[in-house]
Amino acid sequence: MTNNRNSQVASSSRSIRERVGLIIDGANAAAAVKTIVAAEDAGVRQIWMAQPPNLPDALTIFAAAAAKTSTINLGTSIVPTYPRHPLVLAQQALALHDLAPRRLRLGIGPSHRFIIENMYGLQHTKPLVHLREYVDVLRGALWIGKVDYHGHFYTVEAMFPRTARIPIFISTLGKMAFQLAGQIADGALTWVCPVSYLLDTGIPTLRSSAAAVERSAPPLVAYVPVALSEDRDSVLSAGHRYLDFYAKIPFYANMFSNAGFQITSDQMVPDALVDNLVISGNEATVTARLTELLGTGLDELMVSLVPVTGADDEYAQLMHLIGRL
């Protein structure tokens, strides 16, 4: 059931610039809207925004930005599923679709137990079963306009007045998540996964699981951290500040281990993982590396800045680099 707006899925027919998105910070809604407007003016074709539990709502920010932009695509990576009923998310997505037709890419995922249980006070059980049911209800509401669903987590009967075939992407870290994405999603979103892991495990699993249910494999969007610096020691230090947090989260620690990078005894990522994940160098080097990655089999990239000396200046530099690809 992959529609994915063919222009967004057929990577071979799309320009490099259309296949590289920029992750923006949503800590301040007004600032985020200005950044989205600036990104469109710079030539960026796709932005992505996460939805942390303690920051402003990403879809509300997108709605404000939609009124000030006309071409840039807006993607969530990701909206956690447990705290937000799929019909509520469908309502929000429909509103944004009305404001910015065919520009929304809805990325969702189960998040992590320490967030869902400790912060929201909700049970984080059977996350992939929950995600499968969530996608079924959400797609029924958005694509068909009718939901008659009776599952383990959701019992939903609803009608919507119109449809919107908004692509539904899901988060992918472990092999089972890639299998699920291959079966039901319009795209797979990764986060801090080494490229070798994506090429050796993620993409083959995505393709084989899609083939098993006789559908086309959905595109994989790979998260790529970038440091605009040629100082290896500074990049390494900045990379640790950026990545060591993930060493303490079990899903990520397991994925790093499966990719061949063991977490250190003091719960830090090894230097080798920083070197592997973070693209660094001058603009020419970063541009060449992004282009090279798109030739390896990755469908799209979502690029995040790893600040080294001056975050604002480096972010503007990265934005314009992507806009010139």
pLDDT per residue as tens digits for the range 221-234:
999 999 999 999 99
pLDDT of residue 292: 97
Counted domains in the chain? 1
Percent of the chain with pLDDT over 90: 94
Q: In 3D, which of 9, 17, 69 has the Cα closest to residue 41?
A: 69
pLDDT of residue 13: 79
pLDDT per residue as tens digits for the range 226-268:
999 999 999 999 999 999 999 999 999 999 999 999 998 889 9
C-alpha distances out from residue 32 to 65, 188, 226, Å: 8, 24, 20
pLDDT above 60 for 9: no
Q: Give me the phi and psi of 13, to 5 degrees please.
A: -100, 5
pLDDT per residue as tens digits for the range 54-85:
999 999 999 999 999 999 999 999 999 999 99
State the average pLDDT over residues 164-172: 98
Bridge partners (DSSP) listed for residue 149: 156
pLDDT above 50 for 306: yes
CATH number of residue 91's parent domain: 3.20.20.30
CA count, 13 A, side-chain hemisphere, 100? 25
* DSSP output for 247-311: GGSHHHHHHHHHTT-PPPTTS---HHHHHHH-EESSHHHHHHHHHHHHTTT--EEEEEE--SS-H
Give the structural domain span for 55: 5-323
pLDDT per residue as tens digits for the range 82-123:
999 999 999 999 999 999 999 999 999 999 999 999 999 999
pLDDT of residue 265: 86
pLDDT above 60 for 5: no
Beta-carbon contacts of residue 239 (< 8 Å; ≥ 6 apart): 225, 227, 274, 275, 277, 278, 306
For 288-313, b/e burial (b = at least 16 CB within 10 A) is: eebeebbeebbbbbbbbbbbbeeeee
43 vs 8, residue with greater confidence: 43
One-letter amino acid at 135 equals: V
pLDDT of residue 12: 59
User: What is the residue whose two structure tokens read 């509103």?
Assistant: 95
Q: pLDDT band at 52, cuts 50/70/90?
A: very high
